Structure 1
């Protein structure tokens, strides 16, 4: 196998790698503390509270088309000299690439993030749409694309009415999505599309829902909270491992979090240990103020009909 001489040199001596990383981090910090200083200072505040109108430097990125391009131009001017000197260095910004989509996170402060996104040429109609909530403000820096804008009009019994329209965006234009009922999809890109995005998640992210665009059917739902998603995966893992010793903990956790994660926790608790799970189910069903009281009561009735012996657990749990 052929190994380039530069790579061979780096393998034999770690010092140049450290020097390259220090140089690139200094270049990033020079941009963040210099040309981008005012914007990133306001990103800190926007990540906590307020509307975009409260932050003039941040808002100008999406109100005056040259501002966003200037911000990215300053970043390139800071990083390129360091990359030319250290071509094998790692740019110290979070990034990812998948299926023609490149994402470079410039900064994150609290619930707000500033991201540079590139879409490669493509023409693809999507059969479904995800509604996730939050806010997104986008400035098109280069290229052109067809964008489908969707609005969730109503939801009933696992189906949704969705309004959609398609428009073409070009460099200098902006896009905006606010609230759970609005989202958008890039369906066709001419050449390449480059977008600067400002996003902010909600303090309590709503549940993510995916609907079929053909008939409005609900295809998938998931917690919008990263911590709850992690908890759901951990709970499911305990269930698959058969960890009955975790049932009392799951019973306690069935009182905490959103309705979705509480219900999932309760299901795993019931599967692991009928006594702990049914006692937790009874407590929820018996509380009229609990938003899960009705479904818990219905499940309780079904279980008692199928397994009458569970009534003994209820008798032992009831404070009367």
Structure 2
């Protein structure tokens, strides 16, 4: 392995790294303290509280090419100068990168985020053209660089079922696209080199699940929680199950009885059944008898299906539990 002299020196003395990081924080702080960014942060808070975008000039300006470009250019100037002098400094913004998609979160206020987004041809190649995901998120994209071709997918409800219309869409530098994610989806099919966006998003005040649909039939093919906190708790429940410790089964049963989110409770039931069949099946029988519980009908149906497939499970409910 080749280790450059600059990195080798940091092993013995991390002082230069601390100095570089302090300088980068200073530069980002100077950008945040500017009048323009302070006005945007205040507007973000108002937007998160429910105010209309049209009533917030500092924020509405970011949905235009000129306003977005000036906002981002001021930040990039600070970052580029800092990295030019201190190339090992870390840009301290929350960021992600996966499969041709990069995101840098510039600011956040509650359910509202402002981010710099980048998409490469690898992202477009990985998109599934046969389905789309509807989520209760309002989005505004301003194209700062590059171009894309694809479709704007619109969902329409007819006689209790969804149908989808697809209109060809090309976005180039300077263009803006706004959409309500519960009914409109931007499907990117082609990116020539690199697409850079400034994206403003506002999630619904009460999060609803993100749902994936088949475009041809309108059939629901999957869903995920629209609340990051609920997703985090679901991951914790899944981890308890994967640790394969039977003593955790009562903990999962408690979550299944008392948690607020129906999806989380079902995840706890599933993990409890897999971890300790006896505890999980007795839990299922208890939930099946809870009148008024939103998961009571499904719990009763699952219990009946399991008993039909495995009649020996009935003995688990009859066995008396240890009073300890």
- Please say whether Structure 1 and Structure 2 have the same fold, judged by a TM-score greater than 0.5: yes
Q: Note closer, same or farther for the CA distance 1:241–1:100 as it changes in structure 2 (3 Å cut).
A: closer
Q: How does 1:261-300 map to 2 (within 5 A)?
A: 261-300=264-303
- Deviation for aligned residue 1:54: 4.0
Q: Note closer, same or farther for the CA distance 1:280–1:152 as it changes in structure 2 (3 Å cut).
A: farther
Q: What's the counterpart of residue 118 of structure 2?
A: 118
Q: What's the counterpart of residue 200 of structure 1?
A: 202
Q: Deviations over 1:262-297 (max 9, x none)?
A: 222122223334554344334433344333222222
Q: Give, in whole Å, the separation in 1 of the partners of 2:128 and 2:23.
A: 43
Q: Note closer, same or farther for the CA distance 1:271–1:61 as it changes in structure 2 (3 Å cut).
A: same
Q: Note closer, same or farther for the CA distance 1:315–1:90 as it changes in structure 2 (3 Å cut).
A: closer
Q: What's the counterpart of residue 130 of structure 1?
A: 133
Question: TM-score if structure 2 supplies the norm length?
Answer: 0.83
Q: What's the counterpart of residue 310 of structure 1?
A: 314
Q: Give, in whole Å, the separation in 2 of the partners of 1:204 and 1:119.
A: 29
Q: What's the counterpart of residue 81 of structure 2?
A: 81
CA contact (8 A) 1:304 1:311 kept: no
Q: What's the counterpart of residue 153 of structure 2?
A: 150
Q: Give, in whole Å, the separation in 2 of the partners of 1:308 and 1:13.
A: 66
Q: Give, in whole Å, the separation in 2 of the partners of 1:259 and 1:297.
A: 15
Instruction: Name the count of aligned residue pairs.
Output: 315
**Alignment of 1:175 onto 2:177:** yes
- Deviation for aligned residue 1:181: 3.1
Q: How does 1:1-320 map to 2 (within 5 A)?
A: 3-34=3-34, 35-62=36-63, 64-121=64-121, 124=125, 126-127=128-129, 128-154=131-157, 161-254=163-256, 255-305=258-308, 306-307=310-311, 310=314, 313=317
Q: Give, in whole Å, the separation in 1 of the partners of 2:175 and 2:90.
A: 32
SS at match of 1:36: helix
SS at match of 2:146: strand
Segments of structure 2 that go 5 or more residues without pairing to the other structure are none
Segments of structure 1 that go 5 or more residues without pairing to the other structure are none
SS at match of 1:290: coil
- Deviation for aligned residue 1:139: 1.3
RMSD, aligned α-carbons = 3.1
SS at match of 2:194: strand
CA contact (8 A) 2:163 2:215 kept: no
- Deviation for aligned residue 1:150: 1.9
- Deviation for aligned residue 1:70: 0.6
